[in-house]
Amino acid sequence: MTYFPEEVVEHIFSFLPSHSDRNTVSLVCKVWFPKLRVLTVKGKPHFADFNLVPPDWGGYAAPWIEAAARGCVGLEELRMKRMVVSDEGLELLARSFPRFKALVLISCEGFSTEGLADIASHCKFLRELDLQENDVEDRGPRWLSCFPDSCTSLVSLNFACIKGEVDSASLERLVAKSPNLRSLRLNRAVSVDTLSKILMHTPNLEDLGTGNLTDEFQTESYLRLTNALEKCKMLKSLSGFWDASPVCVPFIYPLCHQLTGLNLSYTPTLDYSDLTRMISRCVKLQRLWVLDCISDKGLQVVASSCKDLQELRVFPSDFYVAGYSAVTEEGLVAISSGCPKLSSLLYFCHQMTNDALITIAKNCPNFIRFRLCILEPRKPDAMTNQPLDEGFGAIVRECKGLRRLSISGLLTDKVFMYIGKYAKHLEMLSIAFAGDSDDGMMHVLNGCKNLRKLEIRDSPFGDGALLGNVAKYETMRSLWMSSCNVTLKGCEILASKMPMLNVEIMNELDGSSEMEENPGDFSKVEKLYVYRTTAGARGDAPNFVKIL
Amino acid sequence: MSPPLEHDYIGLAPPEDLKGTELRLGLPGSESPDRRPPAATTTLDLLPAKGAKRVFSHDEVPPPAPAAAGKNGKVVQEDADGEDKKVAAPPQPAAKAQVVGWPPVRSYRKNTMATSQLKSSKEEPDAKQGQGFLYIKVSMDGAPYLRKVDLKTYKNYKELSLGLEKMFVGFSNGRSGSNALPGKKGVSESGSDGEFVLTYEDKDGDWMLVGDVPWDMFTNSCRRLRIMKGSDAIGLAPRAGHKSKNKN
């Protein structure tokens, strides 16, 4: 690119229609890098969410922040997911970018409230501080008081994942001087009274995450809350409900008719009748996250009340394998029949049937994301005892726009044959405890033209599948395989055939020394992570990671 | 440290839905042997058979599966589950299997939920709550044994007092109970002539007169009921003419 004058390069780039492509290109092009305004970085593999990636694997934010601090001081927005961020990194970030406006951290770790204090203190034009589900060390409530009086630009503040106490007075002051606040998500420490006071200052609020709504209260507090909520005419999205007592439910009623988004998935204290009392009034709901204690009956209420529903997530309240869930295929069939606009689904359930999946596929051909998790691995069709191949086959056949799919239950190679044949737009596929042989994985690699991310665990795919279509991995972002049948030898062959891939293997129990002693051993590789690279092997890999 | 199994004091056959809420213990040591360290598999949780909300009986947060747990993520097969596969009934495993990273739920969610459940379980030791039921003990002065009622089967104070009347009809010395229990319209007469007054113990451990607060508020803070003899209740009974606010 240095051979072309800048105007030519920019002209070429202007043909890139998508934002994400332009962003990607700008990272590679040295000429463009200094002008970078928005940087989005994702670190660990997705399965790190489920403790499958050992700690200290990598994904450190510091090198990115340091490089940006040196090279693109115009940076305005930084979005990071599954990265390890330190307080020092946050301090450097806060001091290096005079026009910094937005920090979004999702599922990150490694920092504390002291790092947030630096962000608050030094980012004069901060508009967005959005902390989603991070593991943040609590070092006291001081950070919230660090916003200077001159900082009046906040549009979005989300500190729901902060575990510790919060100084109510500081919080009220901050909200009172932020007239542009559209989105506010509080943590568990914020009381009903504080919430009511805050809401008197936020008439334009569109998205609210409540503090705790326990029953240790006075009735007057809840009446004040209802009054305050009624002033928020723009409020469309509600979440939080920490430790919510069922008593709080009627006080939310005045809001229900205007809600398009509702997240009750962190509230095990509300049972199915509390949930349905609330949800049946939410006739405009488009996005709903709940726990499985809503039960099939409750989902029928959702189906008859929420005709505009587009996204549904039903999370388990029992985290044990084959634990109990009140939600089965019946609830999902009811939803599919009542909510034909449904396009995004995450559904943890106790059991499923082929018939149900076939019905669901016919009712909702618009699925873009379909993630089904039957709690017990390899569980067959609950009525016929057959594998669920036909059911998932129907999903991929009917839902022509499907981009993301997670499968579960008893599945043979046949389901992969269907996926390879029909899921032409599929970009991400998650497989667990499925398949019979290498053929399964081969169907996917050969058939899914748009596949970007493939993650597989506990499935009988081995070297034959791994090496069956190596060129495919260059078109993909990453491949993850854990507890499968790939061997060290197979991985070495892959690495030697594809030098532009990083082939990382992880064996946790003193793996690396063992491997060096017996090169070419046919010992199974516990975890394999393959991804494209332009920079070669990374330098920050820990001992248990070997890059071939 | 496992809590004792609940028994109905009378020893009568429990009504049908009680069976569904029977709590059972998952005994440690009944799982098939596994190479994982014991901490990952020994669980002393109550296993609800059907419908009951999970309550942690001990202070441990369920541990995220340790990184070095076992060479493979194979499922530990439970002992007695085969024959139940065809029936669409909730599983009742005698032992609980643990597989690293399954079900695929973020650690943040697991940790957050564990904290919520610890909080709610500490607050209600006498009341067994689950999906759709809330059983609390009811005692009546002079009665030889206690009873249990499900507060969720009543929609308001009047229904509660009628239900209790039926339950304790043998013990009220022939007097009808409805005069004594404050209801929607009613007012309790001061108990000098031996009538009964309905009181409850709330979450703070205080004994309160039933009927002062909205019904929903009452069911959420009530831990147990006591039908008190009027002569003992002089301090508690409302004065004549006092209106009880009853929001149902």
* pLDDT confidence of residue A520: 55
* pLDDT confidence of residue B230: 73
Kindly state the average pLDDT of the residues B130-153: 79
pTM of the model: 0.72
Kindly state the average pLDDT of the residues B186-210: 69
In this complex, how many residue pairs, one in chain A and one in chain B, have their CB atoms less than 8 Å apart?
156
Nearest CA in chain B to A271: B131
Place of tokens 């409750």: A298
Q: Where is mean pLDDT largest: B52-61, B106-115, B226-235?
A: B106-115
The per-residue pLDDT for range B8-64, each reduced to its tens digit, is: 444 344 444 444 454 444 444 444 443 334 333 333 333 333 433 433 334 334 444
Round to whole Å and give the CA distance between A129 and A149.
Answer: 17
- Strand residue runs (E) in A365-475: 369-374, 404-406, 428-432, 453-457
Q: Is A525 on the interface with B (CB under 8 A)?
A: no
Residues in chain A predicted with pLDDT less than 70, given as ranges, are 1-7, 9-10, 12-33, 215-217, 321-323, 508-521
**What are the CA-CA distances from residue B204 to residues A56, B125, B133 (Å)?**
46, 12, 22
DSSP label of B99: B
pLDDT band at B165 (very low <50, low <70, confident <90, very high): confident
Strand, coil or helix: A479: strand
Gap from B92 CA to chain A (nearest CA, Å) = 8
Residue B84, phi then psi, degrees to nearest 5: -85, -5
* pLDDT confidence of residue B241: 41
Contact check, Cβ <8 Å, B108/A219: no
B68 contacts in chain A (CB < 8 Å): 508-509
Pick from A436, A431, A381: nearest CA to A408: A431
Q: Using an 8 Å Cβ cutoff, are A375 and A338 in contact? A: no
Per-window interface: A 448-477 vs B, CB < 8 A: 457-458
Round to whole Å and give the CA distance between A168 and A317.
Answer: 31
The per-residue pLDDT for range B75-100, each reduced to its tens digit, is: 334 344 434 344 444 444 444 557 88
B71 contacts in chain A (CB < 8 Å): 509, 526
- Structure-model confidence comparison of residues B126 and B42, the more confident one: B126
Q: Using an 8 Å Cβ cutoff, are A111 and A138 in contact? A: no
* pLDDT confidence of residue A13: 63
Average pLDDT of every residue of chain B: 59
Gap from B123 CA to chain A (nearest CA, Å) = 11
Per-window interface: A 84-103 vs B, CB < 8 A: none
Tokens of B78: 């439970």
Q: Which helix (H) or strand (E) holds A480?
A: strand A478-482
Q: Is A215 on the interface with B (CB under 8 A)?
A: yes
For a pLDDT cut of 90, what percent of chain B falls above it?
Answer: 5
* pLDDT confidence of residue A59: 93
Kindly state the average pLDDT of the residues B230-248: 52
* pLDDT confidence of residue B93: 45
- Strand residue runs (E) in A113-182: 128-132, 135-137, 156-158
Contact check, Cβ <8 Å, A271/B104: no
Tokens of A449: 């033209």
Residue B191, phi then psi, degrees to nearest 5: -85, 30
